[in-house]
Structures are given as C-alpha cells and as structure tokens.
Structure 1
C-alpha cells in the first residue's frame, strides 16, 4: 500500500497497528493512519510502500 497517509481500520490491520500505533493519525481505538511520505521520494517516479500482509515478527 502506498504511504500516503491513509486511515485504516485497526480490526482489519491489527499487526500493522501493533507496529505503528496511532503516531501518524487516527483515533487509536478504531482507526490509525500510515505515514504520508508523498512528495519525499528521492525520485518522482518512485513511491514509498508499506506491507499490509505478511508474517508478524516475534519479539523477545
């Protein structure tokens, strides 16, 4: 998913919320946001993306 500040539902993205929290927006109860990195790309033809699926890393 492109990092453009989208607001997501926590219930549908629990692992990503566990990593980001609501530091980039959202209410922290039902929603959170991913960072908005639009315009900060080193090359205008590229985008920053964040994974929304995969294996949640285990922590000690």
Structure 2
C-alpha cells in the first residue's frame, strides 16, 4: 500500500516537474536545487516557496 502511494506520488511529481521545468527552470534554478527533494513530495509547495524567495 505504502509503495503504491509513493509510486503514484513520484509519477505525478515527475509529470509535474517535466511540464513546468522548462518554464520555471531559468527563474528557479538556484531555488530548484535547494528544494528539489521537497519538490518530489510537494512540488506545488516548492513552486510557491521558490517564487516567494525570488521576490
């Protein structure tokens, strides 16, 4: 059960990261590296945090 959940989270995260990375990578390059581990678990939180840090 737990492995299935983790697999689903990883697949969703990979898809999400692929779809946004080209658009955000230039803006979030430094933040992306610092929060990439958290992105795998909560990519939306990372995106929001990254934008706040850049502002």
Q: Please say whether Structure 1 and Structure 2 have the same fold, judged by a TM-score greater than 0.5.
A: no
Structure with larger Rg: 1
Quick check: which one's helix share is greater? Answer: 2
TM-score calculated relative to the size of structure 1: 0.28
TM-score calculated relative to the size of structure 2: 0.29
Quick check: which one's strand share is greater? Answer: 1
